[in-house]
Structures are given as C-alpha cells and as structure tokens.
Structure 1
Amino acid sequence: MGENRLVQGRYRLLELLGRGGMGEVWRARDESLGRQVAVKCLKPLGPYHDPALARVLRERFRREARVAASLSHPGVTVVHDFGECDGMPYLVMELLDGRDLSRLLEENKGHPLPVDDVTDIAAQVAAALAYTHRHGIVHRDLKPANIVRLTDGTVKICDFGIARLGHGIGFTARLTGTGVALGTPHYMSPEQIGGGEVDQRSDLYSLGCVLYEIATGAPPFDLEDAWAVLIGHRDTPPRPLRELRPELPGHLQEIILALLAKRPEERPYDGGELLRRIRSGHMTSKPVKAVESAVGEEGGRLPSWTHRMTTGHKALGAGPGALPPDPGAVLSGCWVVTPEAVAPRRSAGSHLTWGHRRGGATGRNGPAGDRHPVPALPAERLGPDHPESLAGRYEAAFTLLRAGRVAEALDAYTDVAEASARVLGADHPDTLAARQETAYVLGRLGRHFEAHQVYSTVLAARVRAMGPDHPDTLRCRHNLACTLGRLGRPADALRAALDVAGARARVLGADHPDTLVSRCEVAYAQGQSGHWEEALRLYREVAEVRARVLGQDHPDTLAARYETALSLGRLGRSADALRLYRDLIEDRTRVLGPGHCDTLRARHGLGVNLGRLGRWEEALAEARDVCLLREQVLGPAHPDTLVSHREIAVALGWLGRWEDALTEYRRVAATRERTLGPDHPDTLASRNDEAHCLERLGRGTEAGELYRRVAVVRHRLAPGSA
C-alpha cells in the first residue's frame, strides 16, 4: 500500500492517516466524484496468523460497512463504499474534520471538558443513538475514540464494526472465538462483561462511562488492573461526579449516574428517553440511589474471556496502567483530519499483559488457546526488549505453535520469558505468561516432567503476586493438574483437579465455563484412574450444563458429548457409544463442517467402537476415510493423521493382514521418530506396535531386539534413573 495507488480504479490514496496492527487508513480522493474520503484497508495477516482471526476481522469489516451504510443520520459517520481489491477488503468513509473525544481530552491535558460541551455532546450522541436504536442497531463499543466532534460542533458516532442488527441476522458470539473482545474494558456494561443479553441499554451504559470521563477527567473505574476494572463495572457503585467536580449541575450528575446503573432496567430505555431527560434537565425516573444497588445473586460471574484482558486504551492514554491501542485499533475508532494526523497516535504506557487461557475442551480434544496482542510498532524502532517488541515476539511464538513448529515455539517462548524477566521482573504478569506458555509447549513435546517443574514455579509466583483465587492463578493450577495426569500420576491429578474445580466454583460459580473445564479434567483423571462410571456421570452433567449455558451447538458442549461417548466405549458399552458418536458426527458436520478436526475425531471414535463390536471391515473402511481426510486437512505428519494410520494397522491386524499392518505401523513409527525424536513416548509406543506385529508374523528375533531397544530407552528416561 502506498501513496498514489488507485484502489478499485477509483480511490487514489494521498496520505497515510494511521496504521495499526491490522491495517491502515488513508486520506484519498474519489476520482469519480472529485471529493476527499477516508479509505480503511485491512492488510494481509501473513502466513502464520490464525485463519480464524482473519475471518473474524473480515466479517467485522463487512458488518461495519453493511450496518453503517444502512444508516442516514447527522450523528452517524457516512460509509460510501465497500469492496475488495487484490484480496484486500477496504471501506470508504466520509473524511471527518475534527477530533475524537479521546484526542480532545489529551489536548485538554487531562482536564475535563467544559460543562456546556459535555451537555451538548451528551444530547447529540443521545439523538444519534435514538435513531440507531429505533432501527434495531446496538453499537456495542461506544468509547471516546468512537465519538468525533467536528470543527462545526457536530458530533458523530463511528465504527459499527461489532454492532448488532436487531435479533435476526445478529452478530453472534462466534465472531469472538479467537479472542477479539466485544468492547473496551473501561466502557463495557455489566451485562456485556458477564456474557448476558446485550441491548440498547448497554450502549447507554457505555455512553455513561464516556460522559463520566469527559465530565471529570477520568473514567468511572480508573484502575490499572483489567480484572479490577471489570469487577468495578459489575459490583462497585461509581463515585458521584460532583465529589470530583463540584461545579457540575446536579441534573447532569443524575443523568450520568442513571446511565451507570448496574441493572439495565434501571437505566433510560433507549437513546430517545435519554434525550428527553437531557432536554428536560431533571430526572424523570428512579433517584440516584438506585444506581448503588448491587448486581445481586443473578449477578454475574465474569466469563472466561475476560480473565486475560488488559485494561485497554482509555481516553487519557498515559499513566502507569495505560496501554497502546488494541491490535484491532485500525478497525475501530474514527479517522479525522488534524494537523498531526500523518503519524498514528499512541498512548505513552508500556505495560502489556499477554496471559491467556489454556484449556477449552480437555482430554483428547486438547486445549484451546486464546489470541494475543499484535504489536503496532516494529521492534527495530523500539529495541528488541521494549515491552511492545516483547509482545511481538510473544505473538511470533504463538504463531509458530499454531503452525505446528512446536520446537521452534519452545525456543521463542523461552527467549521471551528470559527477556521479560530481565526487563520487567521475574514476577511480572507478562513474564509469568511467557513461562506458562513455555510449560505448555514442553507438554506438547512430551516433556511433562519439565513442564511440571515450570508450572510449579509459575504457580508459586502467581500466588505471591496475585493471590490464590485470581483467575490466572487458578488457570495455572488447572494446567498443573493436567500435567500430573500426563506424568502418570492419576491420583495426584484427580486431587488437584478437584481442588481447582472447587475453587473455580467458589470464585466464578458452578456454571462458569472455566469451572466446567476443570470438572472435565476431574472426569478425565477419574477415567485415567479406571473410574469410568464416575467419569461418565460427570461428563454427562457437564454436557447438560453447557447445553443450557452455552447452547446445544457450542463447541464445548459438543466436546463434553464426545467425552461421554468415549467413556461409554471405555466401559464396554460400544453400542451406546456408537449411537452417541453418530449423533455427534451429524451435529459437528452441521456446525463445524465435515473436514473439521473435531468432526474427524468423532468419526475416529466411531471406527474404534465398530472394531470393539467386531465389525472390523466397517472399522477399516471408516479409519481409511478419516485418515484420507486428515491427510488432506491436517497433513501427513499431523499427530491425528498418524493415529488414523495406527487405527488402520489395528484393523488390518484383526483381519489377519499382518504384512499390511506392519507397513502402517512402520510408517507411523518412522514419521514420529522424524518429527518428535527417537525418545519421544509416542515414538516408543509405535516401535512397540511394530515389534508386536513382527511377533505375530513369526519374526521373533527381530521383535525381541526391538522390544529390548525400547525398554532400554524407557529405563534411561525414567525419573530417578542414573
């Protein structure tokens, strides 16, 4: 992308207005109409970025275009055009001549805006919201950076990228699956934080946060820790504005505090009602004390995605807890012509928090990692150990892991952890997050003993720094419990998982997604201990709760159903397992697609249980179909593909075709040795399979030699061996 480039043969790019981690915004000239416009471009994410994230951002781009283009109001930014050019989505908007509220506060040196300006901005935004709410559109991300005041005094709302259109084609939670959060912590409503139903009253709460900030100079919960900000929104009454600024009119304080009511029903109903209250100059509903009510027993536990959040970019920017704009900043906010607009604006803060959740669906479905910040400035401009450069290096490690380059990811995470400890301190959250990722990758490499050691030291540091019940501490305890199971210590793993599940139920609630993840780990440990009846009962309970809380088609609900079917198979109830697997395959195919790895995993389970029922020809056909799809989707060396090759070998053996089985077993062993190393437990297991096959073929000498080689390596690797 460069100056004078012609986009779609029409929009000539003239001047870069801003650049972020995900794209650029340019001042451009519409050659057809001869007018100046702003062109927002989503840049390619590179070969190792998460495809799901790319889909989310593209969909957000399209949604912003569709929603904004459907609106026609003086208080809403006009979108002129949308399309793709050379595979790059672009959005053409009116070029605004003014300042967003974040910039206005910065230029006012952190002082609040004049009272008349606050009232005028409140009235104009209320009028725009009245219009959008009448059309069934909820913005869902109102913040100072998304509200612009033009030089003529007009106020406009920008960025409908995560808006929701009524209840029909609505923007669902699926668009946040990669961790692209809906909203900015300083301006999020309690129901938005708690994962509840979001409607127009959530916009009014966010507007209340914005008005509070421009009226007092700080947001209502001006805290450095994201967790504390979210808890503040959920549980803490905001401090009355006149304690911070005595000259504010009483009716303005009442209006803003009414917008900040914890319960949506205690706020004005929509933008229209708010506008009437502003114009009348006095409250027409509940007194101010109503906003001090707590959330109550329905209140809300914070959803798991909130636990990794940073505080985000508040309007005033600088300060010990301030952060640079989020990685999707170029997809949000407003782009205005100002004298200094050539260079993108950034906050002065440097604290970044990368810690994230490991462990979506446990057991064979594996952990689900969350997304991380993408640095907006290159390392060469900041130095390799600058916090933002470290964030970029952390992201690079994550992409290596997602690309299957596990050993390289381990080296990258190790380097980041060491640099973070040197620059930020050993107990800094970023250092602990990188070390925890190091432990996770060690586990992926089968080095569970080392992973256990790292998790143990990180847990001790998290308890010191954050306390035993902080979500990051509980997450580390959960990971430690998982590792104990992989170390062959099922009794210890079960005790640890029970402890974490109990703590999460106490802190987060019995139905919280993270609590359910830990209950799944309890079930997994029960199964590893041979208590499959208890595991089956618990998996069924989790599946029922997830269906109620998350929905029947949520991936975590489907994962619990998968574990239920697996437990039935382990109990010898293969006919029952077959019925569950067939239903699950149908649902996963509908929700995820026939080639999705989880769909294929369910088909693999179906094939295994066909074999257990003695239906080996059917089992062989299913294993071959699944193996072919896995090779196409995942690659020939992927662990799941190799598991399918082994299942083919097992079926061939049961059918008496041992020569063919030996070919498959040797293929699996050779691939694992090449990708995992000769001493990896999975490689050794494959060599044992090969030896068993040789034995069945009457080649006892070869089999015995191979058995001995495997035994020697296992003895050498056993903990405590010399």
Structure 2
Amino acid sequence: MDEDTIFPTDADLDLSFTSCTSATTDRTFASSSARTSLARSSVTLSFNDRLSTASTTAAATTTTLPPLYLRPHRSSDPHWSAIKAATTLSSDGTLHLRHLKLLRHLGTGNLGRVFLCRLRDNDHENFALKMVDRDLLSSKKLSHVQMEAEILSMLDHPFLPTLYAHIEVWHYTCLLIDYCPGGDLHSLLRKQVGNRLPVQAVRFFAAEVLVALEYLHANGVVYRDLKPENVLLREDGHIMLSDFDLCFKADVVPTFECRLHKKLGSLDKPRGYSCFRGVDRRGAKSRQEVVEAEFVAEPTAAFSMSCVGTHEYLAPELVCGSGHGNGVDWWAFGVFIYELLYGTTPFKGVNKESTLRNIASTRDMRFRVAEMEEEGMAEARDLIEKLLVKDPRRRVGCARGATDIKRHPFFDGIKWPLIRTYKPPEVRGLLRRGRSHVSHVRVGASLLRRRCWWKKGLDYLKRNKGIKYSLVSKHSNNNYYSYFNKSY
C-alpha cells in the first residue's frame, strides 16, 4: 500500500508528525477553537512513577471495527449508518484511511494529532481522527495509547465517546471517534463573568460528569484526569468526557443492595392544638421510611503507584506517593465543582510546587462566602467539603461510588434515568445547534408567550388545591432542567 493511498493527496494536510509534544492538553475530540496558555496539561510526574509498560511490537496493517451489537445505546446513531455504508462498499468489508476525507487539523497533544474528517461518500457526519505516530513515543506513552484504545473500545454511553474504528497502519495508530464542535468546558468558563458558572449550570454539568464517572467505575476504570479541559461539549449542549490515556483498570464486584431511606412525604392535614407542637395551620411535611434498591459497582480494590494527572486536580494520596485507588476521581470531582462555581481551584498556589504543597498539607480548605449568594451554594459547599476530604477512607464516594453522591442535597430533584433528556442551561458561549434531545421543559420562547396561561392556572391550583406534584422547577430559572418535588 503506497503513501498516496494511505494519505490521499486531496486531503491537503501535513501529516509529518515532526513533533507530538505539546504544553497543552490533548483535547482529543475538541473543536477548532484556538488553544490558550491557560489550558493545563496532563503530565506523568517523575517521582514514585512505577507504571508498568506493555510490550510494543510492530503491528501489521489492520482495521478493527466494533460490531454494532456491542453498542446497543448508539446503534441508531447516524454515524454508525455512515460507517456501515462505507464498510459495505469496501472490497474487504473493513474501513481504511483511504475512506476518510481529512478536512482540517484540530489540535496537537502529548500523544498525537487530531483531525476533523468525514467519510468520502458522506458529507453529513463529522468525525474526529486521532493519529499517533508510535515511532516518536516512549514505551510509557505507548502504553497510554494502548490503554486509551482499550477503554474507548468498551464504552457505550451518551456522555462518553464512541470508537467507530481502530486502524493500525505502518507506525501509526488511528482512532476514529466522536467530534464535539462546542469546544471544552474550560474554554466556556473563560467566556463567563468571573470565569464561573451559575449554580444551576454547575449542577447540570456536574450531574452529567457524575453519571459518566459512574459508568467508568462500574466497568473498573479509574479515570485520573478529570478537569474542565477534558469535558467536551457536543452540538446539543450536553457533555462528553474525553482523554482516557491516563486511566487504569481494576476489578469491580457489582452488588445490589436494599437500604432504608427517609423521604419527604406529602403535605399533612393541619393538626390541632398540642402542648408539644402547638397549632400548625399550614400543615407539615412528614418523613416516610421507604426501602429502596441500589446498584453499587465501585472499584474499591483499585490500586496504583503511578503519579499522573493535572497538578491542580491531584488528590493528596497521589501527591504523597503512598498509592491511590478510586478515590482520586471523587477528589477531582470536588475540585471540578469548586472551579465551576468559583472560577479557580481550591488549592492553587503561585506555582505548581506550592499548589502540590497546599494539597498535601493538613490544612482544611476555606471557602469564599459572599453575603448575597445564589440558591444552592450552601448545598454545593457541603458536597465539596465531603469530596475534598484528605483521608480517602472518609471521602464520600470511595466506598459506594456515585450512589451516595447522587443522594446529596445538591442534586435533589434530578431524575437520573432522564438526565440526558434535560435541556442544557442558558450559558454565554454554549453552542446548541440542531435538534436537541427531547426535554419535558423544552418550550420555545414564542410558544411560551402564546401559552403562558397554563402557568397561571398551575399557580392557582398550587395555591388553592394543594396540588401534590410540581411540573415547574422549584428554582428561580426553569430554562435549565426540571426538578420535581420528592413527595411521591
């Protein structure tokens, strides 16, 4: 196979790979937005680095296409239809680089380059092609490439990328994956006043990241590189977690548990006089004990001695080099929420060394509490405090994973099975092109003006009829996504 066949001349792109090392983060599925010096790179620190490396033998020219039946949640995606059509027309039934039309260079990271591309016979579906020159990488980085390909091949989730093809040709490894035109959450933060998002928007993005982490942990994958730069934004405004080269895998034993929970019951009838309670003319909410089944799949036995990640997001046990497990992801999740709310990370110092010292110190984190703050900030601070516990044995999520975090008051009212149908928040700079996911609060502005009568009627029923269910958000802005009262 000659070079013109592998890299068609009409692509008109430089594929020389003269340098694959960059000081910026490897945004595998990023848009064409320019990279700034503010982006934080993911690094492998030199101390306590005992990452095992796999053997790297030269691979023959092969193409691996994941079968459609292995991706049941994405089988109806039009990208798969385009892939299937291309492979059907292929002489050997597989996808090759000659079937792709490279449009432009998107970015360069620590491992390789990323291009925007389309199939030659399809001008409607965009893909991202990550190309890695194995001859330019050390054995350690080659193991990272292999890990990323392995993780991508097992993913089937709306907030995680899909691997459409894995092509090994010459000394190149090529991964055909999803393209996210909305850029990343780090760039979106830079467009906001004070580099911070409203509480409602933070709750939306944090909830979707939490679900993505839950899926990874349920498959025994510890992510180790959570940060806004790696949270990409699809064209419908929802998130997609990216960059899996720093992951490691561990055994996980799924369990199905039944636990007793106290839920807020419905409005009781007004009670009479009591020497203990007095007269309550408005009624009172009663606490009902219910038994709920919970699915828990957390890699609690995960353990690694390698020190990798972004310095501002490293957990204390990772910085100290004493070994770490699944808890590093929940620590990073707390830092992630903090940065979205405050525009900076909680332990940031004047340089990397001082930041690491702040993380490893025994001093507790301090919040900047404003006199007038948004509704939900108190709950957000409480969750962050429970996540940023320096002892991983007491950190929320380390024992039962996302199951416990979902029950925190910060996420009250979210219908987790419907999370991908929620309407994204109204945030400056957030791209939401095309048809969005169906949402039960998806109402256009003109339609809202024409049908504002239903709100007045609903308010009347709530004031006078004691309606049990609430279809409107209990928060001030219902353009984000709907919350429901837990009175059922």
Structure-2-length-normalised TM-score: 0.51
Query: Could you say what secondary structure the match of 2:164 adopts?
Result: strand
Q: Is the 8 A contact 1:39 1:91 kept in 2?
A: yes
1:160 to 1:96, Cα distance in 2 relative to 1, 3 A:
same
User: Which of 144, 153, 160 is the equivalent residue of 1:76?
Assistant: 160
Partner of residue 394, structure 2: 266
Please list, as runs of the form range in 1=range in 2, the aligned pairs for 1:204-283 lying within 5 A after superposition: 204-235=330-361, 236-242=363-369, 246-247=373-374, 249-269=377-397, 270-277=401-408, 281=412
CA distance in 1, matches of 2:153, 2:194: 34
RMSD of the alignment, in Å? 3.2
Q: Which amino acid aligns with 1:127?
A: V
Match status 1:123 vs 2:251: no
Q: Is the contact between residue 216 and residue 244 of structure 1 (CA under 8 Å) also seen in structure 2?
A: no
Q: Secondary structure at the match of 1:262?
A: coil
Inter-CA distance 29–221: structure 2 relative to 1 (3 Å threshold): same
Amino acid at match of 1:58: L
**Which whole-Å CA distance do the structure 1 matches of 2:336 and 2:353 have between them?**
20
Distance 1:43 1:231, change over 3 A: same
Aligned mates of 1:186, 1:9 — CA distance in 2: 41
Which AA in structure 1 matches 2:189?
L
Which residue matches 1:10? 99
Deviation at 1:265, TM superposition (A): 2.2
Q: Which amino acid aligns with 2:106?
A: L
2:115 aligns with: 26
Measure the CA separation in 2 of the matches of 1:280 and 1:120.
9
| Partner SS, residue 14 of structure 1 | strand
Task: Classify 1:32/1:206 alpha carbon distance in 2 versus 1 (closer, same or farther; 3 Å).
Answer: farther
CA distance in 2, matches of 1:200, 1:244: 36
Letter in 1 for 2:221: I
Paired residues of 2:379 and 2:410 also in contact (CA < 8 A): no
Query: Partner of 1:99: helix, strand, or coil?
Result: coil
Q: Deviations over 1:41-97 (max 9, x none)?
A: 123665xxxxxx522222211211111221211121222222322211122111113
- Bigger relative contact order (CA 8 A; separation at least 6): 2
Cα 1:157–1:225, aligned 2, differ >3 Å: closer, same or farther? same
In 2, the alpha carbon distance for the partners of 1:54 and 1:276 equals 43
Report 1:106-185 matches (<5 A): 106-108=190-192, 110-167=194-251, 182-185=308-311
5+ unaligned residues in a row in structure 1: which ranges?
Answer: 47-52, 283-335, 339-722
As a proportion of its length, which structure holds more helix?
Answer: 1
**Partner residue in 2 for 1:64:** 148
Q: Give the Cα–Cα distance (whole angstroms) in 1 for the partners of residues 200 and 153 of structure 2.
A: 31
Instruction: Return the offset for 1:21.
Output: 5.5
Whether the 8 Å contact between 1:129 and 1:272 is mirrored in structure 2 is no
**Matched residue, 2:268:** none
Amino acid in structure 2 at the alignment position of 1:13 = L
Deviation at 1:253, TM superposition (A): 0.9
Amino acid at match of 1:152: D
Alpha-carbon distance, 1:126 to partner: 1.0
Corresponding position of 1:535: none
Letter in 2 for 1:131: Y
**Residues 172 and 88 of structure 1: CA distance in aligned 2, closer, same or farther (over 3 Å):** farther
Q: Report the structure number with the largest CA radius of gyration.
A: 1
In 2, Cα distance between the equivalents of 1:83 and 1:223? Answer: 42
SS of 2:215 mapped into structure 1: helix
Q: Normalised by the size of structure 1, how large is the TM-score?
A: 0.35
Structure 1 residue corresponding to 2:173, chosen from 89, 100, 105 = 89
Percent sequence identity is 26
Distance 1:121 1:134 in 2: 20
2:133 maps to what in 1?
43
3-state secondary structure, aligned to 1:79: coil
1:23 and 1:42 in contact (8 A); partners too:
yes
Matching of residues 636-675 of structure 1 within 5 Å: none
**Superposed counterparts of 1:198-597, under 5 Å:** 198-235=324-361, 236-242=363-369, 246-247=373-374, 249-269=377-397, 270-277=401-408, 281=412
Counterpart contact for 1:7–1:85, Cα < 8 Å: no
Deviation digits for residues 255-288 of structure 1 (CA, Å, limit 9, x no counterpart): 1121111111222221232122256549xxxxxx
**Contact residue 16 and residue 26 of structure 1 kept, 8 A:** yes
Query: Are the counterparts in 1 of residues 250 and 302 from structure 2 also a CA contact under 8 Å?
Result: no
- Check the 8 A contact 2:227/2:332 in 1, yes or no: yes
Is the partner of 1:118 in helix, strand or coil? helix
CA distance in 2, matches of 1:266, 1:231: 21
Amino acid at match of 1:75: F
What letter matches 1:254 in structure 2?
D
How far did residue 201 of structure 1 move?
2.0
| Equivalent pair of 1:18/1:25 in contact (CA under 8 Å) | yes
Asked if 1 retains the 8 angstrom alpha-carbon contact of 2:317 and 2:323, the reply is yes
- The answer (yes or no) to whether the contact 2:115–2:128 under 8 Å persists in 1 is yes
CA contact (8 A) 1:128 1:271 kept: no
Quick one: structure 1 residues 182 and 278, their matched pair in 2 at CA, closer, same or farther if it must change by over 3 Å? farther
1:96 aligned partner, one-letter code:
C
Deviates more, 1:85-94 or 1:3-12: 3-12
Output one character per residue of 1:675-714: Cα deviation in whole Å (capped at 9) or x when no partner. Answer: xxxxxxxxxxxxxxxxxxxxxxxxxxxxxxxxxxxxxxxx
Distance 1:195 1:151, change over 3 A: same
Aligned length: 274
Structure 1 residue 32, shift from structure 2 partner: 7.0
Distance 1:45 1:279, change over 3 A: same
Deviations 1:282-317 (A, max 9, x none): 9xxxxxxxxxxxxxxxxxxxxxxxxxxxxxxxxxxx
Aligned residue in 1 for 2:38? none
Q: Which runs of 5 or more residues in structure 2 are unaligned?
A: 1-6, 14-94, 253-298, 414-430, 434-488
DSSP 3-state at the match of 2:115: strand
Q: How far 1:228 sits from its partner (Å)?
A: 1.3
Distance 1:80 1:171, change over 3 A: farther
Which residue is 1:717 aligned to? none
Q: Secondary structure at the match of 2:406?
A: helix
CA distance in 2, matches of 1:264, 1:147: 24
Question: Is contact 1:259–1:267 with CA below 8 Å preserved after alignment?
Answer: yes
Q: Distance in 1 between matches of 2:335 and 2:181?
A: 25
Q: 1:158 Cα shift?
A: 1.0
Change (3 A) 1:31 1:279: farther
Going from structure 1 to structure 2, the CA distance change for 1:223 and 1:280 (only over 3 Å counts) comes to closer
Cα distance change of structure 1 residues 196 and 99 upon mapping to structure 2, 3 Å threshold: same
